[in-house]
Structure 1
Amino acid sequence: MNSFELQEDPKVQKTQDTEILCDNEEKQDYVTQLEASLTEEGVRKELEILKQESLKLTGFSFRTHTLFKKGGRHMTLILGIFASIGGFIFGMDQGVISGALLFMPKDLSLTSGEESMVTGFMPLGAVLGATIAYPLNEWLGRKISIIIACLFYSVGGILQADAHNFGMILSGRIILGVGLGLECTACPVYISESCTKRWRGGLVSLYQFMICFGLFCAYIVAAIFVNIPGNWRYMLGSTLVFSSILLIAMCTMPETPRWLMRKGREAQSYKVWSIVRGFDTAEERNEFYIMRKTVEKELSDSKDRWVIMDLVRVHRCRHAAIFGAIIAILEQFSGINSINYYMSTLMHEVGFTRVHAVYSSMIGSGTLLLFTIPAIYLMDRMGRRALWLSLLPGVVVGCFIIGFSFRASNIHIEEGIYIWGIITYYMFWGSGMGPYTWVIGSEIFPTYIRSEGMALVTWWTYIGNFLTTYLFTRMKTAMTGPGIFIGFYGGFVVVAWFYGLLMMPETKDKTLEEIDSLFSMSMFALAKHNWNNVKKTTDDLFHFRLKEVWKVE
C-alpha cells in the first residue's frame, strides 16, 4: 500500500459530535451489508429481469453502440475521449484570448479596465453557468447539459469573432463563460459515472489533459493567424469548429447509467451499462447491483426534503463540499489561469516582441501538455494524494523562479529565467494540481447530490478564476512581479500542500459508493489518520524505503 494512502479503519470511529448523522451511518452499514450479502445467483436473477425489460424498450438507442456492440473498454474510452473534447474547448478559449489580447484592445479601442473585463468576465459567466448546471444536470441529465453548453459555446464564439465594440466582445465572453461553467460541471461527472473505478481517475484526468492540449493548440492557432489582418477574430472564432464536433458527438452518446437509475429508468440504465461497461465479470455485475440498491435507498431517504440543503445539513455531504471547494480555490490561487490568460502579455513585458511572444507561448503550453500525461497513468496507480504531495513543492519552485525573473538586470537574462520558471511551474503543476478539481469533484459526492456538489465545485473554481484574472494587472502593479508570484501564488501552493497532507483522503481504486465511508468520517478523524501516515512516510524516507513511499500498483 502506498505510504501516502489513507489506511481505513474497518470500524469507523464514532464521535459524540452530531455532525455524523444517523442516516450516514445507516447508509454506510447498508452498503456494507449489501456487499456481505451478495450472492451470484441473486445478482444474476435481478439482472436477468432487467435484461428482459430492456429488450422491450422501443425508441431507445444511440448510434455509437453499433460500432462497439461488445461494450467494455473500447466503448468506455470512446465515451471518455468524446466527453473530454469539452476540456479541449476550455483550453482553446484560455489560450486564444492570450494571443488576441495583443491585438484586440487596439482594434476595438479598449481601455485597460475594459481589457480586464473582457478577460475576467468569462469566468464570471462560468459562475452563472455552474449555477444553472445544477437544475439542468438534475432534470435533463448530463448528456443534454453538455449539448446545451455547446450551443452557448457557438453563440459566444460567433459574437466574439464578429465583435465591433466593447459591448459585443464582452457579451460574447460572458455567453461563452456560461457554456464553459455548464460544460465543466457536466463533463467530468459524465465520465466519472460511466467508467469503472480502475479508470475513473485516469479518464477524468484525460479531461485535464484535453484542457492542456486545447491550450497548446490555441497558441498554434494564434501563431497561424498572427500575421493576418483581423487575426484576433480568427483566433477567437476557431473554437466554433470544436464545439460543433462535441455537439455532434454527444448526440450519439448515451446518458449515464447512474442518472438513468436515479430517474427510475432501470431498464435503460441496464441497457447503457451493458454497452458501456458490460456484465462479463462478477465485479461489474456486483457493482451495478450495489449501485441500483444504493440509488434506491438514496431516493427513499431524500424523497421528502430539499436535497441541496444536505450540502450544509448532512456531515458526509458537507465534508465533501468543504473539501471540494477548498481544493478548487487553492488550485485557482496557485496562479495557473493568470499565467494562461496573460501568457503572451507577460512574454511581451519581459522583452519579447508581440509576434515572438505568441510563438514563445507554445513552449509553456507544450510543457503543460507533456507533463499532464503522467497524471492519466499515475492517478489510478499511485493515487491522488501521493501525486499531490510529491509534486506541489515543484510548483512552489516554479513560482519562485518566475518571480525572480522580474529582478534580472539584463533583458536577455530576464527572458531566459522567465521561460525557465514557466517550464518548471508547468512541469509540476500539470500532474501535481491540474486534474484534481475535476477528478475530486466528480467522485466525492453521493449519486443523489452529485449534480449539486459538482456545480458547487465548479462555482468556486470560477470564482477563483475570476478573481485571479480580473484583478491580475492591479495585483501585479501593487505587489510587483516577485510579490504576486512568490508571495501570493507561491504562498497559496504551500497552504495547498499542508491542506492535502492533513485533509486529503485517498480515493483511488474505490467505487463511487465506497467513497462514502471516507467522507462519513469526521474531519478530525481523517486528519488523525493522515498524520499517522505522515509519520510512517517520514520513517520510510529516512530509511530509504522509497518503493513504500511511491508505490505504483
Structure 2
Amino acid sequence: MARGRGFEVEASVTAIESKITLAVVISCIVAASSGLIFGYDLGISAGLVTSLVASQVSSSLGRKNTIMLGGVIFLLGGAINGGAQNIAMLIIGRILLGFGIGFTNQATPLYLSEIAPPKWRGALSTSFQFFIQIGVLVAGCINYITANHPSGWRISLGLAVVPATMITIGACIICDTPNSLVERGKIDQAREALNKVRGSTNVEPELEELVRRSQHAKSMKQEPFVTIFERQYRPHLVIAIAIPLFQQLTGINMIAFYAPNLFQSMGFGHKAALFANIILGFVNIFAIIIFSSIVDRVGRRVLFIVGGIQMLVSQIAVAFVMAKATGIHGTGSISQGNAMLLLVLMSFYSAGFGWSWGPLLWIVPSEIFPLKIRTTGQSLAIAVQFLTIFLLSQTFLTMLCHLKFGAFLFHGTWIVVMTLFIMLFLPETKGLHLDSIYDIWCKHWYWRYYVNREVLQNQH
C-alpha cells in the first residue's frame, strides 16, 4: 500500500523475481563509496554546473562509467590541491573537486535505485548517505589532528586522493545497471547484469519489460529537459526540487561547514569545537545505520515527518538556551554547562536529520521518475541541492551574527513548512518496483489531476 494524505493506494507491482545477492551488495557498497568524496569535500559550487551536464553523460556513458569519471576528476583535483604552489593551483584543484562531485552525486543515487531489489531499495540506497557522513567524519578527524601542523591544510586537501582512488578502482569491478545498459542498446550485457544482480537465470520477463519501456522512451523524440516540464510530470518535478531545497533549509550543511565556528560561539575552545564536530559526525552515522534497518518497513513518509519533528524540537530548544544564556542581543557569555547542553541538543538534531532528510534526499528523487527523464530529474535535484548549499553557505555566518539565536528559529520555521509539505504531497514509495511507481501519482488526492495514467504507465 502507498499512502497520500491518509488515502490508501493499490499499486500494481510487476511480478519480477528479485533478492539480495552478493553481487548486489558489493555493487551497492562500491558505488555508494563515492559519497566519501562529497562528505570529504562538501559544498563545492562547481558541482552545480556539472550536475546538469552529468545527465547527458550518465545517459551516454552509463551510471558506472559516470561514477568512474567523477572519481578520476576528483583524484586529479585532490592531487593538484595537495601539491599546490600558488592560489591558482588551489582554485583549479577545487574546481576539479566540484566537477568530480557533480558527476558522482548525479549517477550514484540512480545506480543504487536501479540495481537494488524493490524490497531493499531504501536500505541499500542509504549506503550513499552513510559514506557521505563517513567522509564528513574523516575530514573532521583529519582537521582535528592537523589543526596545529604548519602544513595541515595541504595534508587535508591532498588526502582527498585516497577516497577518489578507492572509487575509481572500485568502479572498474562492478557491472552497470540493467536499466542503463538497455537504454544504450546493450541487451546482452543487460541480461548478464540481471543474471548477476538478481541471482537467477529467469530474468527474461524483467529484461523484456525494460526493453519495452526503453523503446517507448526513445520513440518520444522530445528533449528530456523539455519533457520534464510537461504537466504530467509536474508531481515528479515539484518533489525533486522541493526535497533537496528543504533538506538544505533544515540547516544541516551550515552546521557541517561552520560547526567549529558555531561551537566556538557557544563557548567551546578551538580544539574542543573541532572535537564537538566529530561527536556530531558519530551521532549522524549511528542514526543512518538505524534508518537503513527501518526505512523499508516504516516507509519514507513516516521518517520524513518524525525526523522533521525531532529537528524542530531541537532547533527551538537550542534557540531558547542561547537566548537565555546570551540575551536578546547575544552579548552575554555561555557557561560550560550550557555549552554541553547545546552539544546534546545539536546531537539530538543531528540524529533526527540522520534518519530522515539526510538519506531520503538520495532515495526519493532517484526512484520517482520514468526512465525517459530519470537522469534529467536526478540532475535537476542535485543542481538544486548545490545551488541551495552555495547560497546558504554565503549567508549563514552573516545571518548568525545578525539574528543570533534567531537563525535556529529561521530554520525551524522551514522545518514546519517542509513537514507539512511531506504530509500533504509526498506519496509512499516503499517496496514498489521502479516500473510501478506511476500508480502513486494517479491515485494521489492532489497529483491525480496532473498526471496521465496511460502515458506514465508506458514510460516507467
Same-fold call, TM cutoff 0.5: yes
TM-score, with structure 1 as normaliser? 0.75
Distance in 2 between residues matched to 1:339 and 1:394, nearest whole Å: 16
The aligned counterpart of 2:373 is 449
Q: Please state whether the residue corresponding to 1:506 is helix, strand or coil.
A: coil
Q: 1:81 aligns with which of 21, 26, 29?
A: 29
The aligned counterpart of 2:269 is 353
The aligned counterpart of 2:423 is 501
The aligned counterpart of 1:306 is 223
The aligned counterpart of 1:24 is none
Q: Please state whether the residue corresponding to 2:45 is helix, strand or coil.
A: helix
Cα–Cα, structure 1 residues 214 and 131, in superposed 2: closer, same or farther, change >3 Å?
A: same
Q: 1:322 aligns with which of 238, 255, 258?
A: 238
Residue 515 (structure 1) aligned with residue 437 (structure 2): yes
1:206 positional shift: 1.2
Instruction: Give the alignment of 1:116-135 within 5 angstroms.
Output: 122-135=43-56
1:374 positional shift: 1.6
Distance in 2 between residues matched to 1:82 and 1:423, nearest whole Å: 29
1:6 positional shift: 5.2
Q: 1:245 aligns with which of 144, 161, 166?
A: 166
CA contact (8 A) 2:318 2:342 kept: yes
Post-superposition Cα deviations, 1:189-208, rounded to whole Å, max 9, x if no partner, equal 01111121011111111111
1:429 positional shift: 0.8
Distance in 2 between residues matched to 1:447 and 1:324, nearest whole Å: 15
The AA in structure 1 aligned to 2:212 is K
Structure whose CA Rg is larger:
1
1:167 positional shift: 4.0
1:176 positional shift: 1.1
The aligned counterpart of 2:131 is 210
Distance in 1 between residues matched to 2:397 and 2:429, nearest whole Å: 38
Distance in 1 between residues matched to 2:2 and 2:56, nearest whole Å: 39
Distance in 1 between residues matched to 2:93 and 2:262, nearest whole Å: 24
Cα–Cα, structure 1 residues 523 and 88, in superposed 2: closer, same or farther, change >3 Å?
A: farther
CA contact (8 A) 1:195 1:277 kept: no
Which region of structure 1 is more displaced relative to structure 2, 123-132 or 290-299?
A: 290-299
Residue 220 (structure 1) aligned with residue 141 (structure 2): yes
Q: Please state whether the residue corresponding to 2:34 is helix, strand or coil.
A: helix
The aligned counterpart of 1:419 is 343
Residue 141 (structure 1) aligned with residue 62 (structure 2): yes
1:253 positional shift: 1.4
TM-score, with structure 2 as normaliser? 0.89
CA contact (8 A) 2:59 2:375 kept: yes
Q: Please state whether the residue corresponding to 2:44 is helix, strand or coil.
A: helix
1:522 positional shift: 6.7
Distance in 1 between residues matched to 2:50 and 2:318, nearest whole Å: 33
Distance in 2 between residues matched to 1:380 and 1:6, nearest whole Å: 19
Q: Please state whether the residue corresponding to 1:305 is helix, strand or coil.
A: coil
The aligned counterpart of 1:108 is none
The aligned counterpart of 1:401 is 317
Residue 369 (structure 1) aligned with residue 290 (structure 2): no
Q: 1:438 aligns with which of 362, 367, 370?
A: 362
Distance in 1 between residues matched to 2:441 and 2:49, nearest whole Å: 28
The AA in structure 2 aligned to 1:483 is G
Post-superposition Cα deviations, 1:197-233, rounded to whole Å, max 9, x if no partner, equal 0111111111111111221222222233233321122
Q: Please state whether the residue corresponding to 2:41 is helix, strand or coil.
A: helix
CA contact (8 A) 2:441 2:447 kept: no
Task: Count how many residue pairs are aligned between Structure 1 and Structure 2.
Answer: 440
Cα–Cα, structure 1 residues 459 and 520, in superposed 2: closer, same or farther, change >3 Å?
A: farther
Q: 1:92 aligns with which of 13, 30, 40?
A: 40
Distance in 2 between residues matched to 1:399 and 1:171, nearest whole Å: 37
CA contact (8 A) 1:380 1:509 kept: yes
Aligned residues with identical type, % of pairs: 26
Q: 1:458 aligns with which of 382, 388, 396?
A: 382
1:296 positional shift: 2.4
Cα–Cα, structure 1 residues 314 and 3, in superposed 2: closer, same or farther, change >3 Å?
A: closer
The AA in structure 1 aligned to 2:28 is G
The aligned counterpart of 1:477 is 401
The aligned counterpart of 1:61 is none
The aligned counterpart of 1:492 is 414
CA contact (8 A) 1:396 1:490 kept: yes
Distance in 1 between residues matched to 2:170 and 2:414, nearest whole Å: 38
Post-superposition Cα deviations, 1:107-161, rounded to whole Å, max 9, x if no partner, equal xxxxxxxxxxxxxxx4321101201101111111111111111122122222333
Post-superposition Cα deviations, 1:253-292, rounded to whole Å, max 9, x if no partner, equal 11111011112211111011111223256xx654343233
1:356 positional shift: 2.1
The AA in structure 2 aligned to 1:444 is I
Consecutive unaligned residues of structure 2, counting only runs of 5 or more, are 327-333, 450-460
Distance in 2 between residues matched to 1:156 and 1:432, nearest whole Å: 32
CA contact (8 A) 1:405 1:415 kept: no
What root-mean-square deviation, in Å, do the aligned CA atoms of Structure 1 and Structure 2 show? Answer: 2.5
